[in-house]
Amino acid sequence: MINFLASKFIKNYNDTENPQVQSKYISLSGVVGLFLNLFLFASKLIVGIISGSIAITSDSFNNLSDSLTSVIAILGSTFARMPSDEKHPQGHGRLEYIASLLVGLSIMYVGFELFKKSIDSIKNPQAFTFSILSIAVLLASILVKIYMYKYNNDLYKRFDSSLNEGVAKDALNDVIATTGIMISGFVSQYTKFNLDGIAGLLISIMVFKTGFEFAQSTVSILLGEAPSEDLYDELGREVMDSKLIRGYHDLQIHNYGRGRVLASLHAEIPYDLTIIEIHNEIDEIERRVLEKYQVDLVIHMDPTYSIKEGKTSEKNTRLIDLSGNDQDREKIKEAAEKIKSGGLVVMPTETVYGLGADGLNPDAINKIFQVKNRPNDNPLILHVGEKDQVEKLVKSIPDSAKLLMDKLWPGPLTIIFEKSSLVPDEVTAGGPTVAIRMPDHKVARELINLSERPIAAPSANISGKPSPTNAIDVYQDLNGKVDIILDGGVCDIGIESTVVDTTTKAPKIYRPGYYGLDTLRELIGDFEYDGALVKEGEIPKSPGQKYKHYAPEADLYLFSYELNDQVKKMKEAFDEYTSMGKKVGVLVFEENLGAFSGEYIVSMGSKADLREMARVLFAKLRELDRMGVEIILAQGVEEKGLGFAIMNRLKKSSGGKIISND
């Protein structure tokens, strides 16, 4: 019958691949179901009253509740099409839920009344006549419901429609219920047990339950139900499919009823896109989401420290964006091939970006020194992907080193060993020791493992400048000078690894970093700090100690933590330099921002969050340089915990221009 009606009422009824045709099939099945149920309701109500059977009467209401749910489904799409007006800018889609709630409550009421009648009938069984007519009507009802089960199940299988699945299940329940009534009718007629009241009771509970579930499902939507996880995932995937979008956050979905779903999210985009480019892209995504999911999406854009994918400068540096998905592996493989053939690849690590080359290839290592303009008496760190890669690079692994590797690797800790003959002199600047680190960053480790050799990598900046902690800062220093820059977002830690020497009797820290003396002493009691800036003419144990480092172009004045009236003194200096006509930048904690007013006042986050300060420090110094300031006034922190490493960097940036009490 459905197919016959379809051929009459549905245009292109054969084109069942077409979603519009599918939805017409589904609507048609609803209309057919509505009429069949109304027919069953009327005929059973009449038979129920004539025969005096509460069970048959209850069953008729069971069918009525089914037809009412179809009415609501049909009304729902009508409400959704009603245009919005001034008072209801989101349209009238939610009317469907209000209607459903009322219908659900009415069905519950009917179920309750039938329940009471059934109880009465159990208490005082009434004789009823189980006539041929009753039998015929019940039999017809069973056949109709079997038919409804069949065509709904068929549509469910063809179009995967959950609406039809629900109706099919319901029809099957009705077949069982009506069969039960038939049996109870026969039993009551031919034995002395009158089961009519009990059958009525069971059916009334079914009716009540239908109403309850119907009302309940709409109540939670009316209250503002969370949209399905699937929709969140699907919208997220749709957005991330874009080549230009690096990430997203704060995805919100508001449901105002069928066809009226609003969503918004913040998309993270490379900083160097033109407004036109990103606008076109966002428009395109919004249009696609509307078409595919009928969701009205609004995308807000957040520029990030990343660069447009695939942009190749005329100088042939390739930028590769890694977004954390499956395609990354292929891209990293390409970079690993570059390493193997002696090229230069910048890789993200958890501390800072590293300028990587094959750690066993002297020519490749020499290129690093050239590109960075690095003094060649300053040795490099070899990066390994797994702990067992250390063995062949060193003469032996002292117990203290073993312990540190066990507890703190992978992580921001570099360990100095006696080198094996495999390690070229170019890495160690001719020295007998080699520094090794296993970074805690998926991309770095994958690159090393795919390259099948240790990667020598100093920080990816021109020597003397602050280390880069994001791809833009790398790009500024090294565009055109390296083969590939792998863009892995912002580095989590932000300052370089702690460098420790385990070849000496008591292990020593040469360069403070994320791990301070306190942490290391918890593992090995007699750790020492040996990080004094080396004086002219002396030979440093770790050559890195002797250079002025991390310095912005501007002159940086560091206001020490112990300084009385630290912020007030900074403010005085700010006013003085400003009145001299200088362009003055200020680097302060959020809590002290209010003390300054000017164009180049930059926050390092809250005083209470030194991790944040470490994360942003180098990037902010570079930002101030880009703003073109001549002087930077920086607020010092207490030299404790991570503050010790931070102050080590700031002191070097200042080149000794430290304002303290004496």
- Return the amino acid letter for 487: D
Q: Is 354 in the site for ligand TXA (CB under 6 A)?
A: yes
Residue nearest Mg ion, CB atom distance: 459
402 DSSP 8-state letter = H
Q: Which two tokens stand for residue 592?
A: 């002290």
**Could you say whether residue 652 binds ligand TXA (CB under 6 A)?**
no
Q: Which does 502 bind (CB under 5 to 8 A by kind): Mg ion, ligand TXA, none?
A: none
Name which position in 457, 509, 554, 634 contacts ligand TXA (CB under 6 A): 457
How many Cα atoms sit within 13 Å of 131 on the Cβ side? 13
Using DSSP, state whether 638 is helix, strand or coil: coil
Considering the complex, what minimum distance in angstroms separates the CB of residue 242 from ligand TXA? 30
Instruction: Indicate whether 349 belongs to the interface with Mg ion (CB under 5 A).
Output: no
The angle formed by the CA atoms of residues 102, 106 and 111, to the nearest 5 degrees, is 150
DSSP string, 486-508: EE--S-SS-SPPEEEE-SSSS-E
The set of residues, in sequence order, having a beta carbon less than 8 Å from that of 267 and lying 6+ positions away, is 239, 245, 247, 248, 282, 299, 300, 301, 302
- Report the nearest approach of ligand TXA to the CB of residue 217 (Å): 55
Binding to ligand TXA (CB under 6 A) within 288-317 occurs at none
| Structural Rg of the chain based on CA atoms | 38
**Residue 378 touches which of Mg ion, ligand TXA, none (Cβ within 5-8 Å per kind):** ligand TXA
Biggest CA–CA distance in the chain, Å, is 119
Out of 198, 278, 346, 380, the residue judged to bind ligand TXA by CB under 6 A: 380
Q: Which of 285, 394, 438, 499 binds ligand TXA (CB under 6 A)?
A: 499
Of 250, 261, 266, 265, which Cα lies nearest the Cα of 225?
261
* One character per residue 324-353, x = contact with ligand TXA (rule: CB under 6 A): -------------------------x-xx-
Minimum separation from the CB atom of position 392 to Mg ion (A)? 26
Candidates 459, 469, 545, 648: give the one binding Mg ion (CB under 5 A).
459
CA distances from residue 72 to 58, 94, 454, 582, 644 in whole angstroms, order as listed? 21, 12, 68, 73, 68
CB of 380 to ligand TXA, least distance (A): 5
257 or 468: CB nearest Mg ion: 468
Of 115, 128, 409, 510, the one binding ligand TXA (CB under 6 A) is 510
Shortest gap between Cβ of 411 and ligand TXA (angstroms)?
10
Based on the shown chain and the rule CB under 6 A, indicate whether residue 455 belongs to the binding site for ligand TXA. Answer: no
Beta carbon nearer to ligand TXA, 354 or 507: 354
Burial class (CB in 10 A: 0-12, 13-18, 19+), 472: buried
Give the Cβ contact number of residue 396 at 10 Å.
Answer: 10
Residue list 254-273, contact with Mg ion (CB under 5 A): none
Q: How far is the CB of 507 from ligand TXA (least distance, A)?
A: 13
What dihedral do alpha carbons 556, 557, 562, 568 form, nearest 10°?
-120
- Cα four-point dihedral sign 268, 272, 275, 276: negative
Q: In angstroms, what is the minimal distance from the CB of 583 to ligand TXA?
A: 29
Is residue 464 close enough to count as binding ligand TXA by CB under 6 A?
no
Per CB under 6 A, which region of 125-133, 259-267, 302-310, 491-499 contacts ligand TXA?
491-499
Contact yes or no for 30/70 (Cβ under 8 A): yes
Neighbours of 324 (CB within 10 A): 13
Residue selected from 91, 348, 458, 512 as contacting ligand TXA according to rule CB under 6 A: 458
Non-local (6+) Cβ contacts of 295 within 8 A are 231, 235, 253, 261, 262, 263, 289
The residue at minimum Cβ distance from ligand TXA is 544
Choose one: 56-64, 355-363, 394-402, 452-460; the region binding Mg ion (CB under 5 A).
452-460
Q: How far is the CB of 584 from ligand TXA (least distance, A)?
A: 29
Q: Count Cα atoms within 13 angstroms, Cβ side, for 146.
A: 9
Taking CB under 5 A as the binding criterion, the range among 248-256, 268-276, 376-384, 456-464 that sits at the site for Mg ion is 456-464
Write down the least CB distance from residue 436 to Mg ion, Å. 16
List the one residue from 496, 570, 647, 651 that touches ligand TXA (CB under 6 A): 496
Torsion (CA) 404, 405, 406, 411 in degrees, nearest 10: 100
**Cα 571 → chain centroid:** 41
Is residue 469 at the binding interface for ligand TXA, with CB under 6 A as the rule? no
Going by DSSP bridges, is the β-strand pair 555-559/508-511 parallel, antiparallel, or unpaired? Answer: unpaired
Residues whose CB is less than 8 angstroms from the CB of residue 530 and which lie 6 or more positions away in sequence, other chains included: 501, 508, 509, 510, 541
CB 438 within 8 A of CB 386: yes
Residue 379 near which of ligand TXA, Mg ion, none (CB within 5-8 Å, type-dependent): ligand TXA
Q: Least Å distance between CB 477 and ligand TXA?
A: 13
Nearest to 614 by CA among 584, 637, 597: 637
Q: Segment 541-560, which members bind ligand TXA (CB under 6 A)?
A: 542-544
Contact 601, 592 (CB under 8 A): no
Binder of residue 435, out of ligand TXA, Mg ion, none (CB less than 5 to 8 A by kind): ligand TXA
- Spatial contact of 352 and 618, defined as CB atoms under 8 Å apart: yes
Nearest approach in angstroms of CB 391 to ligand TXA is: 17
Q: Which stretch binds ligand TXA (CB under 6 A): 84-92, 203-211, 430-438, 590-598?
A: 430-438
118 vs 459, which CB is nearer to Mg ion?
459
Please measure the distance between the N-terminal and C-terminal CA atoms of the chain and give it in whole angstroms. 99
Give the nearer residue to ligand TXA in terms of CB position, either 227 or 431: 431
Cis peptide before 227 (omega within 30 of 0): no
Number of residues binding to ligand TXA, judged by CB under 6 A: 29
CB 281 within 8 A of CB 244: yes
**DSSP E strands: which ranges in 545-626?**
555-559, 584-588, 601-603
The answer to the question of residue 37 lying near Mg ion (CB under 5 A) is no
Could you tell me the smallest distance in angstroms from the CB atom of residue 465 to Mg ion? 9
Residue 43 vs 378, nearer CB to ligand TXA: 378
Q: Could you tell me the two tokens for 487?
A: 């863009």
Q: Which is nearer to Mg ion, 210 or 459 (CB)?
A: 459
Tokens of 404: 């540190």
Identify which of residues 459 and 648 has a Cβ nearer to Mg ion in the complex: 459
Pick one of 164, 459, 470, 560: the residue that binds ligand TXA (CB under 6 A). Answer: 459
Q: Could you list the residues that contact Mg ion (CB under 5 A)?
A: 459
Residues making contact with ligand TXA (CB under 6 A): 349, 351-352, 354, 378-381, 412, 414, 416, 428, 431, 433-435, 437, 439, 457-459, 496-497, 499, 510-511, 542-544
